[in-house]
Amino acid sequence: MGTSRMFRIFVVLGSVFMILLIIIYWDDVGASHLYLHTPVSPGPRIPPPPPPRQQPHTSRTPSFLSDIDAFVNQFLEPGTGEPTDPAPADSGNQSEKAEERYIPRREWKIHLSPVAAELRERQEQRRRLLQEMCANDSVVFPGKNRSFDDIPNKELDHLIVDDRHGIIYCYVPKVACSNWKRLMIVLSESLLRDGVPQRDPLSIPKDLVHNSSMHFTFNKFWKRYGKFAKHLMKVKLKKYTKFIFVRDPFVRLISAYRNKFELPNANFYLRFAQVMLRRYANQPTPPASVDEAFGMGIHPSFPNFLQYLLDPQTEKEMPFNEHWRQVYRLCHPCQIQYDFVGHLETAEEDAEHLLRQLKVDNVVEFPTSRRNFTASTLEADWFNTVPLETRKELYKLYEPDFRLFGYDKPDSILNE
């Protein structure tokens, strides 16, 4: 009697203990495995479905192992390792270190010299400026005060996630975004050729680069994770390294205009150029096709394009197209604390620094562009034919981008 009661209690306690163990284990390993291993739908170029690749162990290293990893790295990488930070007690630097430790490392490259102090200082300044501007009530723009939870799903479509390396990239069109998207495809190994991940960024064709099926973006989380989506996003935002590349806002607009309206582009002609011609260029019936229009030498002028941006009607019809939508609307810099802010004006240095910080410089190299970007020295020429009043209104429209990312107010353009 007594022993059978003891036995029953023992069995019950034992079961409870086992269940607890399972829960703890599941929470620790199962969940993080679920977070980290999320393959993007494969690209169109795979002939047969590739054999499932074994890689559960790359997703998560037990903490003692990653500590050993960090310890070993101190000796291997004097530059980016923790001990070179002269002020390690700082909270900003601490969170950076925590993130570095989290990223699973499979291989690494040995650097004999540290990242130049100038480059680290530059990043420090850009991050600090973002924080200051987000806290400064004199910088006002729609959506600034909302919380991350209040950002609608469809506005998160520019955040590309790479779970393999723990990287989040917010792409801004007209800021070398094709090349950074190529890099994200290589890193996340989402494009396979004959079952082997594509390694060379430049060999990825342009139409694939911009095909959204190649990228795992935040707005796809809802489909995959349902009500856990926002929670998962926040976990990833906290643990992953987030980066963004920006450029001078006016130069970005010139670049968008040159690329979409000075060159024949059927899609942009039908969706936007016809509207501009009708409304601002005295063309009640613009040519029906882009070929016809360019054959007759007709396309909207740069002032027409700016008029279109400033017309209240435009935003009423639909939100700005991503090629001219403000960066603060694409990337939510006051809700997402970017770890790295690159400028196109210093793209090569920044790319090298970033890849090194991400510890992927052994896997990929940033493709250097052979094209000439629109130089800001030519900016004044472009605005020659634009009325002063229009320039000032345009500045107001893009002022938050100027201030958030440290671009000087273009006085020479605004004060003539």
Ligand X SMILES: *[C@@H]1O[C@H](CO)[C@@H](O)[C@H](O)[C@H]1NC(C)=O
Binding region for ligand X (CB under 6 A) out of 15-23, 65-73, 137-145, 261-269: 137-145
Which whole-number Å values give the CA distances from 270 to 109, 278, 286, 289, in the listed order?
49, 12, 10, 7
Q: What are phi and psi of 150, to 5 degrees?
A: -90, -5
Quick one: tokens of 410?
Answer: 């273009």
Contact between residue 409 and residue 402 where contact means Cβ atoms under 8 Å apart? yes
Cα–Cα–Cα angle for 61, 64, 70, rounded to 5 degrees: 80
- Given 24, 140, 202, 263, the residue binding ligand X (CB under 6 A): 140
Q: How far is the CB of 216 from ligand X (least distance, A)?
A: 13
Helices (H) and strands (E) in the chain, counts: 21, 6
Q: Is 145 one of the binding residues for ligand X (CB under 6 A)?
A: yes
Residues 39-68 close enough to bind ligand X by CB under 6 A: 43-44
Provide the CB-side half-sphere exposure for 102 (13 A, CA). Answer: 19
Residue 150 or residue 207: which is nearer to ligand X going by CB?
207
The whole-angstrom separation of Cα 161 and Cα 143 is 23
Residue 152 or residue 284: which is nearer to ligand X going by CB?
152
Residues 107-136 close enough to bind ligand X by CB under 6 A: 120, 124, 132, 136
Residues 70-99 close enough to bind ligand X by CB under 6 A: 85-87, 90, 92-93
Q: How far is the CB of 86 from ligand X (least distance, A)?
A: 6
Provide the CB-side half-sphere exposure for 292 (13 A, CA). Answer: 9
Residue 213 or residue 385: which is nearer to ligand X going by CB?
213
Question: DSSP for 65-119?
Answer: HHHHHHHHHHHH-TTTSGGG-S-TT-HHHHHHHHHHHHS--S-----SSPPPHHH
Contact between residue 114 and residue 78 where contact means Cβ atoms under 8 Å apart? yes
Q: How far is the CB of 61 from ligand X (least distance, A)?
A: 26
Q: How far is the CB of 305 from ligand X (least distance, A)?
A: 23
Spell out, one character per residue from 319 to 358, where the chain touches ligand X: x when CB under 6 A holds, - when not.
----------------------------------------
Q: How far is the CB of 283 from ligand X (least distance, A)?
A: 30
Q: Nearest residue to ligand X, using CB?
A: 92
Q: Is 27 one of the binding residues for ligand X (CB under 6 A)?
A: no
3-class SS of residue 381? helix
Residue at token pair 């190529």: 182
Q: Is 144 one of the binding residues for ligand X (CB under 6 A)?
A: yes
Q: Is 291 one of the binding residues for ligand X (CB under 6 A)?
A: no
Residues 351-380 close enough to bind ligand X by CB under 6 A: 372
Residue at token pair 């942009």: 268
Q: How far is the CB of 90 from ligand X (least distance, A)?
A: 4
Residue 287 or residue 410: which is nearer to ligand X going by CB?
410
Residue 63 or residue 203: which is nearer to ligand X going by CB?
203
Q: Minimal CA–CA distance to 395: which of 372, 379, 381?
A: 379
Provide the CB-side half-sphere exposure for 82 (13 A, CA). Answer: 18
Residues 211-240 close enough to bind ligand X by CB under 6 A: 211, 213
Residues 190-209 close enough to bind ligand X by CB under 6 A: 207
Residue 268 or residue 308: which is nearer to ligand X going by CB?
268
Residue 320 or residue 402: which is nearer to ligand X going by CB?
402
The whole-angstrom separation of Cα 119 and Cα 121 is 5
Q: Which residue ranges make up the site for ligand X (CB under 6 A)?
A: 43-44, 85-87, 90, 92-93, 120, 124, 132, 136-138, 140, 144-145, 207, 211, 213, 372
